[in-house]
Amino acid sequence: MKGNAKIRSRLQPRRGRKRRPPLPPLAEKEAWVKRSLDHRLNSPRLRKEIQTWWEGRLQGRWLHYQRGLRGKATSPAQKGDLVWGRWDLHEGLKKPESSAAVQLRTEKIGFSHFLFTRKVPEVQNSSCPCGAARQTSKHVLLFCPAYQAGRSQMVLEAGSSDYDTMLSSRPGIRAAAKWLIKSGALHQFSLAKEMLEEQ
């Protein structure tokens, strides 16, 4: 009898485990799915995969951009490093400032020279209202007499008055982007300027 009881007690838990557990209610099932998804998203391997995929996408876009140059690099962005190597330039910038920084670095910007070469109908020529033959971002940023205000302070903050150097360093791009918004030289930034002044 003693032996039988021993065997029964050994079998019982196993019998218990074999029994199929009742199906969980729907809410519990959903929670379980969510937990396992969260777990997957937190896995370093998946994060690495996502990062690699994202960098590959950026590299593809960058190569496409560079191919469009036909071997002629002109803007600071084209002369500079690969785009994801320069995310540091945007650190701490507000959204309109970051947008201004991109436009300055790529020179795809709302000034006559770029707009005229892109055949924007309202733009009749490349010239600047100040009389200069070409209204480029370099001209507006460093030379245009119409936007003198705050320029020397901007150059001081930028740490350089050399256009390419300025737009390739973090203090430089910060100072240039902030100044560009404040200057009102780009119509599209007038709203951003008001927003920044309100803060």
Q: Write out the residues near Zn ion by the rule CB under 5 A.
A: 128, 130, 132, 144
- Length of the chain in terms of residues written: 199
Distance CA 143, CA 135 (A): 10
Q: Least CB distance from residue 101 to Zn ion, whole Å?
A: 21
Nearer to Zn ion, 83 or 107 (CB): 107
Q: Least CB distance from residue 139 to Zn ion, whole Å?
A: 6
Nearer to Zn ion, 62 or 143 (CB): 143
Q: Least CB distance from residue 181 to Zn ion, whole Å?
A: 18
Nearer to Zn ion, 111 or 168 (CB): 111
Q: How far is CA 12 from CA 20, 22, 43, 134, 156, in A?
A: 15, 19, 39, 91, 83
Q: Least CB distance from residue 195 to Zn ion, whole Å?
A: 26
Distance CA 65, CA 58 (A): 10
Nearer to Zn ion, 75 or 137 (CB): 137
Q: What is the CA radius of gyration of the chain?
A: 30
